[in-house]
Structure 1
Amino acid sequence: MGTSIRALLLSQMDTFTPSEQKVAQALLDRYPSLGLGPIASFAKQAEVSDPTVFRFVVRIGFPNYSSFQQALYGEIDTAMNSPLARMDAFHSSSGTRESHAGIFRQLSQSLATTIEGLDAAAFDKAVTLLATPDIRVFCGGGRYTAPLASLFAFTLAYARPHVQYVEANVNLASLALADMGRDDVLVIFDFRRYQKDSLRFAKAAHRLGARILLITDEWLSPIGEIADIVLQILGRPFAMLQTNVPALALAEALVISVTNRLPELARQRMEKIENLNTGGIEQDTNRRDLPE
């Protein structure tokens, strides 16, 4: 299958019957582990019959339950491969010198896959939360995702106040936790391989009463167990690096949607920021012109 089973379920959820939706939701709640066990255990968890699970598996494109499980195992194998392992596999195959047009096609496909599988209800819930100007928003990530979190915080701060980027550093993260409390929001980016520091930080914020908005990949960061909202990136990896295009697009879509919800506040805030920037430049220039 071209996309993950998770993405398939999310994209087709509205077309499922009530019984099929129970099966799909049970799998999403314990993805992918529920589908790796016996069909009887799956059915019990979903509160349906064994034949209902079997018909559902056939409904989403598998000839039998065994092939469905093989697909899940394939996803796990892909998820467990490190960037170095992916690079080794890539360079052992033919056609490693892909043209720029081919690379752009892959990027476009990664973005299209994310759009297709995006949970629209979760996205709207995230926008509603971020568009509440009185709450404080903290944004953080790990070694790989910190630049995404930083850029997201920077652009969101143009649309609304009370936005803070949390450095990917244990000591600095602790300082942020000291200021975090109930009704605050932590937006955290966490992709494979998931960082223990990010999980510890998210759990600490959760204990303080902060709501967690997780942006992760299709295999779902462990932070998902405590997150209030989960948005997933479904783009496929390249040889050595996983593309940031879908994640960046999702982050910008959130900021644009928040701006659309708060047009007047965003306009006033941008004007104020630009005026302060201009004033600061003029002040520095005047100071340099003063005699020693």
Structure 2
Amino acid sequence: MPEPVETIGERLQSSFDALTRAERQLANAILENYPVSGLGSITTLAANAKVSTPTVVRMVRKLGFPGFPQFQAALRRELEAKITNPIAKHDTWAENAPDGHILNRFTEAVIDNIHQTLAQIDPASFDAACALLADPKRTVFVAGGRITRALADYFYMHLQMIRRGVTSIESRSNSWPHSLLDMQAGDVLVIFDNRRYENSTIKLAELAREQGVKIILFTDQWRSPVSRCADLCFSSRIVVPSAWDSSVVIMLLLETMIAEVQKQTWDGTRERIEALEEVFDRTRFFRKFN
């Protein structure tokens, strides 16, 4: 089945300012453990959010659904997409593959992902994340999972060239407790976690949060459970005509963030890069063409 153009979570976030106080309370309750939180009965959802059942009905209609059953049906489809494995994703794509070359179809999907993601990004939250990462008084820790490890490594490599005090946390769950010992209140933990969310990553976030660490999360449109612990959460669209998800939009956010942090710390960054280049020259690390 085709994946939805816009998730209910994204609709809630984009329409948040137009909701009443009670509806905002309900929206926060749904997003807290999204999308599972909305799959119980209407009375259970209302009770958990401490609102009335008519409030649930009104907000569901504001989101474009005729009633609560249709709202839940959409949530179930999202949950199915959230836990789908690569083989099932490929089969779904193959059955619905449009005409045209894969280069065009894939690129169109990526461009659509970029547009939809940027429409949801709060510039103030983006600026706040850059300010945390540029603060020399804060140590930055970077963690990824089985697939998102590559994104974490890329971000770590660039950030540690820009500033001191950046640590890469190994993805093996038996190694990150050692990094947890070094985290202090006010430090920053950057986490990458996409669907098929990893239990060890969630536990790392929970323990770091208890220590007063600021958490920046990069996740997908369904939002990792880590979002419950995160101070700042950036959700990217990742669906493309492939058995695997796309990292293009997340990479766009990362490179933009790297550019902004570099700008804010340029004086120190320049000295650091010059020193690094001197080391490269002395060790003949790179081949030079003279």
TM-score if structure 2 supplies the norm length? Answer: 0.85
1:242 aligns with 2:213: no
The 2-side partners of 1:130 and 1:68 are apart by 38
CA contact (8 A) 2:142 2:156 kept: yes
The 2-side partners of 1:18 and 1:201 are apart by 33
Q: Identity of aligned pairs, percent?
A: 32
Partner SS for 1:152 = helix
The 2-side partners of 1:45 and 1:205 are apart by 27
RMSD over equivalenced CA pairs, Å: 2.8
Unmatched segments (≥5 aa) in structure 2: none
User: Which residue pairs with 1:48 in the alignment?
Assistant: 51
5 Å-filtered alignment, 1:107-118, equals: 107-118=110-121
Match of 2:168 among 146, 165, 169: 165
Aligned length: 285
5 Å-filtered alignment, 1:113-262, equals: 113-262=116-265
Question: Can you list the C-alpha shifts for 1:163-199, whole angstroms capped at 9, x where unaligned?
Answer: 1222323454344334333332221111121122323
Match of 1:274 among 270, 274, 277: 277
Amino acid at match of 1:87: H
User: Which residue pairs with 1:290 in the alignment?
Assistant: none
Higher Cα radius of gyration: 1
| Counterparts in 2 of 1:120 and 1:16: CA distance versus 1, 3 Å | farther
CA positional deviation for 1:92: 4.2
CA contact (8 A) 2:97 2:241 kept: no
Question: Can you list the C-alpha shifts for 1:85-131, whole angstroms capped at 9, x where unaligned?
Answer: 11233334454874312211111111212112224443333222212
Partner SS for 1:72 = helix
The 1-side partners of 2:213 and 2:59 are apart by 37
TM-score if structure 1 supplies the norm length? Answer: 0.85
Amino acid at match of 1:216: T
The 1-side partners of 2:284 and 2:266 are apart by 27
Unmatched segments (≥5 aa) in structure 1: 286-292
Question: Can you list the C-alpha shifts for 1:136-180, whole angstroms capped at 9, x where unaligned?
Answer: 111111110111000001111232221122232345434433433
The 1-side partners of 2:12 and 2:117 are apart by 13
User: Which residue pairs with 1:86 in the alignment?
Assistant: 89
CA contact (8 A) 1:182 1:209 kept: yes
CA contact (8 A) 1:11 1:118 kept: no
| Residue range with higher mean Cα deviation, 254-263 or 70-79 | 254-263
5 Å-filtered alignment, 1:62-77, equals: 62-77=65-80
